Chain A
Amino acid sequence: MSAPAIDTENLTKDYPIGFLETKKKRSLEGLTMQVETGEVFGFLGPNGAGKSTTIKLLVGLIFPTAGTARILGRSINDIEMHRDIGYLPEQPYFYDYLTAAELLDYFARFHDLTAADRRERVARMLKKVGLETAGKIQLRKYSKGMMQRVGLAQAILHDPQVVILDEPMSGLDPIGRREVRDIILELKSEGRTVMFSTHILSDAEMLCDRVGVIVGGKLRGVGAPSEIVELKAHGMEILFEYAGNNANASALLAKAAKAGNRYRLQVGESELYTVLEQLHAAEARILSVTQLKQTLEEYFMNLVDVDRAQAAAIEVRGK
Chain B
Amino acid sequence: MSRVGVVARNTFREAVRDRVLYNLVFFALLMMAAAILVGQISIGIEDLVIVSLGLSAISVIGLLIAIFIGVGLVYKEMDKRTLYALLAKPVRRWEFLLGKFGGLVLTLTVNTAAMAAGLFLVLLYVKHSLERTDIAVLIAIYFILLKLALIVALAMLFSCFTTPLLSILFTSGLYIAGLFIQEMRNFHSRTPNPALEGLLRGLSYLLPNFQNFDVMASATHGRTIPASLILENSIYTAVYCAIVLLTAAAVFSRRNLK
Measuring CB to CB, which residues of chain A are less than 8 angstroms from any residue of chain B?
15, 56, 59-63, 79-83, 85-89, 91-95, 97-98, 106-107, 109-111, 151, 154-155
Contact = CB atoms under 8 A, between A and B. Distances in A.
Contacts of A106: 6, 10
Contact of A109 (B6, B81, B254, B256): B6
Given A92-B84, A109-B6, A63 B89 contact: no
Contacts of B90: 79-83, 110-111
Interface string B166-191: 00000000000000000000000000
B88 A60 contact: yes
A110 B91 contact: yes
Contacts of B17: 97
Given A81-B90, A93-B81, 8 more contacts: A60-B87, A61-B87, A63-B256, A107-B86, A110-B89, A110-B90, A151-B85, A154-B85
Contacts of A94: 82, 85
A61 B256 CA distance: 6
Contacts of B88: 59-61, 82, 85-87
In this complex, the member of B10, B89, B91 whose beta carbon has the largest number of chain A beta carbons within 10 angstroms is B89
15 contacts: A59-B87, A60-B87, A61-B84, A61-B87, A61-B88, A79-B92, A82-B88, A89-B85, A93-B82, A95-B14, A97-B14, A106-B10, A107-B86, A110-B3, A110-B89
In this complex, the member of A81, A87, A89, A98 whose beta carbon has the largest number of chain B beta carbons within 10 angstroms is A89
B162 to A, nearest CB: 14
Contacts of A85: 88
A92 B88 CA distance: 13
A181 to B, nearest CB: 21
B85 A87 contact: yes
A315 to B, nearest CB: 26
Nearest to B3: A110
B3 to A, nearest CB: 6
B257 interface: yes
Interface string B197-211: 000000000000000
B85 A111 contact: no
A181 B63 CA distance: 50
Contacts of B81: 89, 91-93
B91 A79 contact: yes
Interface in B138-187: none
Contacts of A111: 89-90
Nearest to A78: B90
B18 interface: yes
Contacts of A62: 256-257
B132 interface: no
B80 interface: yes
Contacts of A98: 13
B1 interface: yes
A151 B81 CA distance: 12
A151 to B, nearest CB: 7
A79 B93 CA distance: 10
Contacts of A80: 90
Contacts of B85: 87-89, 92, 94, 107, 151, 154-155
B6 A61 contact: no
Contacts of B89: 82, 107, 110-111
Nearest to A154: B85
Contacts of A60: 87-88
A145 B163 CA distance: 30
Interface string B1-43: 1010010001001100110000000000000000000000000
Interface string B234-258: 0000000000000000000010110
Contacts of A88: 85
A83 B88 CA distance: 9
Contacts of A63: 254, 256
Contacts of B257: 56, 61-62
Contact of A93 (B1, B14, B80, B92): B80
A83 B87 CA distance: 11
A97 to B, nearest CB: 5
Contacts of A154: 85
In this complex, the member of A56, A91, A151, A155 whose beta carbon has the largest number of chain B beta carbons within 10 angstroms is A56
Nearest to B16: A97
A89 B85 CA distance: 6
A91 B82 CA distance: 11
Interface in B76-117: 80-82, 84-92
A237 to B, nearest CB: 46
A158 B211 CA distance: 50
Contacts of B80: 93
Contacts of A107: 85-86, 89
In this complex, the member of A15, A94, A109 whose beta carbon has the largest number of chain B beta carbons within 10 angstroms is A109
Nearest to B10: A106
A144 to B, nearest CB: 14
Contacts of A87: 84-85, 88
Contacts of A97: 13-14, 17-18
